[in-house]
Amino acid sequence: MDFKDFELIYKENRVKIKDRSKIESDLKEIVGVNNVSTKEIDLLAYTKDSTLIGFNWLLEGKIPGLADFITWPETIEQISAILKLANQEKIPVIPFGEGSGVVGGAIPIRGGIIVDMKKFNRIIGINDKDLTVTVESGTNGMNLERFLNAKGYTCGHIPQSLYTSSVGGWIAHRAAGQFSTKYGKIEDMVLGMELILPQGEIIKFKTIARASTGPQFDKLFIGGEGTLGIVTEATLKIWPYPEKRTFISYAFPTFEDSLEATRQILRQQIYPAVIRIYDADETFRHFGHIEKAIDKVMVVFICEGNGRLVDLEELITKETCEKNNGVECGEEPVEHWFETRFKVTDTSSTPTFKMVFDTIEIGFLWDKASDMYHSVVEATKKVKGIVLITAHVSHFYPNGVGFYFTFAGVPPKEKTNLEFYQEVWNTVIKTVEDYGGSFGHHHGVGINRSKWMPVEWGKSFNTLKKIKKVLDPNNILNPGKIYESPWKEGGEN
Ligand SMILES: Cc1cc2nc3c(=O)[nH]c(=O)nc-3n(C[C@H](O)[C@H](O)[C@H](O)COP(=O)(O)OP(=O)(O)OC[C@H]3O[C@@H](n4cnc5c(N)ncnc54)[C@H](O)[C@@H]3O)c2cc1C
């Protein structure tokens, strides 16, 4: 194998390393000879994250980004020293969790040093009275959840990527798990954190239930996407493992009925751990075998926790669904979802049919949620080559919801896969922004959305850029993301 055989997608502004062998030996000095690699096989493994168009590129012999060095540090001092070296030599550093990000956040588009957090995988301990777990940031999500379950707890953060994502990646992308309506999102769970700033300074936010000691500076780093600091340790909230779990499902005649029922449930301060509304197309795709759901909109609920409270939540959830034209479909649809919730074979099979496929999740208030949904579907259907645009709603608040659109299409002859992909992404985001929504609910900004940051943030984006400049004057930590976009208007990249 030779890298000459691959076409590099993101090649602009790549950093030229002057003395490669000197940097390699400096890195070996810092982390040890076995924790640095420049082997092609390792460099190749870190060319991408799980951005779905990456599967198409893989089949076409294209790679999105190419790092110069891969490192696996084992201590915070080593990471600090790597960052100091990188600042001195002006080399990009890209933190890497498990590469399950779907917006290009971990792709080394300017080259440089990958800091893989794999070896930060210790679960330091549980505090039963405080209901916390302290964990190193490279810890795999499923390993953490299994550890907690065995001791009678849950973290409550169960993303679909639980088996393939790390605690640091969750914090960096402000992730949300499928049980988030009860347990909250990652930003609700982080009580304390240790991280290393771009110039190598190690800082620690102490673990506390709540404090009024100035602005919530720690929150700046939740969603920083590895551009403002490298998270090395976090203390998260945990919960006693639920005593009871109830499965409920209803089919509704219209999408609007399903939204109204769930909105009213939240308004009564009932927080089922899981709520998922599937539009008619997705209901057909996932629940086509359920007769009562034919041509309907399926909603699945899981209520869990204290048994007596769960019984009451179940009662109110069912009453509210029935008041809004829901037809009870029993436990089976929820069991089906529960059994298949980590199965994502669709995502890797579509590129073999030369299709471009992806998902786009967005945040919205209740008020115009239904109008926004229909407008996104209508606008996206007009993109030449589109074959499928559907949605489910998977995150719920008394004030709003998180929608999750899925699209697939075959790019027309005059367009590359990336041009088609960008056109769909931009169509969805423009429609959502025009309606006043937020272009991302839990997958982050990365490459795919950075072009839209000035629209999403308005004038405050300039302030965010100033903060980045203060913390990272040499722009070495994960450059080319969030604050700048490698996507040109209508162009290939
Ligand atoms: C099939 C599938 C299902 C998914 N389901 C969900 C879901 O239900 N909910 C959800 O929120 N997301 C989901 N995702 C997206 C993804 O899993 C999350 O974004 C996850 O948080 C990324 O974690 P990671 O460890 O893989 O991070 P990576 O992909 O390795 O990195 C993501 C970003 O975080 C940065 N980073 C990584 N580690 C650190 C660190 N220690 N310090 C600072 N920055 C760091 C990287 O530089 C990059 O910018 C899904 C992805 C896939 C492929």
Parallel/antiparallel/unpaired status of strands 230-237 and 132-136: antiparallel
Using an 8 Å Cβ cutoff, are 333 and 299 in contact?
Answer: no
- Please work out whether the CB of residue 117 comes within 6 Å of at least one atom of ligand 1: yes
- Nearest alpha carbon to residue 447 among 51, 97, 168: 51
- pLDDT for residue 253 is more than 80: yes
- Please work out whether the CB of residue 144 comes within 6 Å of at least one atom of ligand 1: no
- Please work out whether the CB of residue 172 comes within 6 Å of at least one atom of ligand 1: yes
The one-letter code for the residue type at 407 is F
Task: List pLDDT tens digits, range 91-109.
Answer: 999 999 999 999 999 999 9
What is the distance between the alpha carbons of residues 363 and 454, in angstroms, rounded to a whole number? 17
Using an 8 Å Cβ cutoff, are 363 and 441 in contact?
Answer: yes
- Nearest alpha carbon to residue 217 among 204, 230, 198: 204
- Please work out whether the CB of residue 95 comes within 6 Å of at least one atom of ligand 1: yes
* pLDDT recorded at residue 490: 46
What is the distance between the alpha carbons of residues 468 and 228, in angstroms, rounded to a whole number? 6
Q: Provide the β-strand partners of residue 194.
A: 204, 233
Going by the DSSP 8-state scheme, the letter that residue 303 receives in this structure is E
Using an 8 Å Cβ cutoff, are 105 and 168 in contact?
Answer: no
Task: List pLDDT tens digits, range 126-165.
Answer: 999 999 999 999 999 999 999 999 999 999 999 999 999 9
Structure tokens at 309: 């409270």
What is the pLDDT confidence band of residue 489, given thresholds at 50, 70 and 90? Answer: low
Task: List pLDDT tens digits, range 285-318.
Answer: 999 999 999 999 999 999 999 999 999 999 999 9
What is the pLDDT confidence band of residue 344, given thresholds at 50, 70 and 90? Answer: confident
* pLDDT recorded at residue 1: 52
* pLDDT recorded at residue 350: 84
- pLDDT for residue 491 is more than 70: no
- pLDDT for residue 450 is more than 50: yes
> Which conformational region is residue 169 in: left (phi greater than 0), alpha (psi within -120 to 50 degrees), or beta?
alpha
What is the pLDDT confidence band of residue 2, given thresholds at 50, 70 and 90? Answer: low
Structure tokens at 79: 């990471």
* pLDDT recorded at residue 131: 98
**285, exposed or middle or buried, with CB in 10 Å at 0-12, 13-18, 19+?**
middle
- pLDDT for residue 493 is more than 80: no
- Please work out whether the CB of residue 173 comes within 6 Å of at least one atom of ligand 1: yes
What is the distance between the alpha carbons of residues 432 and 436, in angstroms, rounded to a whole number? 6
- Residue 280 Cα to ligand 1 midpoint, Å, equals 29
- Positive or negative: CA dihedral 288, 317, 157, 477: positive
| DSSP per-residue string spanning 83-137 | HHHHHHHT--EEEESSS--SSSTT--TT--EEEE-TT---EEEEETTTTEEEEET
Closest ligand 1 atom number to CA of residue 168: 41
Angle, helices 53-60 vs 417-434, to 10°: value is 170
Structure tokens at 402: 């998180």
Task: List pLDDT tens digits, range 14-49.
Answer: 999 999 999 999 999 999 999 999 999 999 999 999
Long-range contacts of 425-430 (CB under 8 A, 24+ apart): 425/358, 425/360, 425/449, 426/451, 427/379, 427/380, 427/382, 427/383, 428/360, 428/362, 428/376, 428/379, 428/380, 429/360, 429/362, 430/379
- pLDDT for residue 166 is more than 60: yes
Using an 8 Å Cβ cutoff, are 117 and 20 in contact?
Answer: no
What is the pLDDT confidence band of residue 346, given thresholds at 50, 70 and 90? Answer: confident
Q: Would you say how long the chain is, in residues?
A: 493
What is the pLDDT confidence band of residue 492, given thresholds at 50, 70 and 90? Answer: very low
Pocket perturbation via mutation, ligand 1, pick of 165, 193, 404 by most ligand atoms within 8 A of CB: 165
Using an 8 Å Cβ cutoff, are 43 and 1 in contact?
Answer: no
- Nearest alpha carbon to residue 97 among 77, 66, 124, 120: 120
∠ CA 233-236-241, rounded to 5°: 135
The one-letter code for the residue type at 65 is G
* pLDDT recorded at residue 352: 85
- Please work out whether the CB of residue 140 comes within 6 Å of at least one atom of ligand 1: no
pTM above 0.85, yes or no: yes
What is the distance between the alpha carbons of residues 5 and 374, in angstroms, rounded to a whole number? 44
When the pLDDT of each residue in the chain is averaged and rounded to a whole number, the result is 96
pLDDT over 70, % of the chain? 98
Q: What's the per-residue H, E or C state across 185-238? A: CHHHHEEEEEEECCCCCEEEECCCCCCCCCCCHHHHHCCCCCCCCEEEEEEEEC
- Please work out whether the CB of residue 233 comes within 6 Å of at least one atom of ligand 1: no
* pLDDT recorded at residue 472: 98
What is the distance between the alpha carbons of residues 277 and 346, in angstroms, rounded to a whole number? 19
The SS3 call for residue 395 is strand
- pLDDT for residue 122 is more than 80: yes
Using an 8 Å Cβ cutoff, are 81 and 113 in contact?
Answer: no
- Please work out whether the CB of residue 54 comes within 6 Å of at least one atom of ligand 1: no
- pLDDT for residue 113 is more than 60: yes
Q: Which residue minimizes the CA distance to atom 46 of ligand 1?
A: 106
What is the distance between the alpha carbons of residues 302 and 52, in angstroms, rounded to a whole number? 29
Q: What's the per-residue H, E or C state across 304-361? A: EECHHHHHHHHHHHHHHHHHCCCEECCCHHHHHHHHHCCCCHHHHHHHHHCCEEEEEE
Parallel/antiparallel/unpaired status of strands 297-305 and 274-278: antiparallel
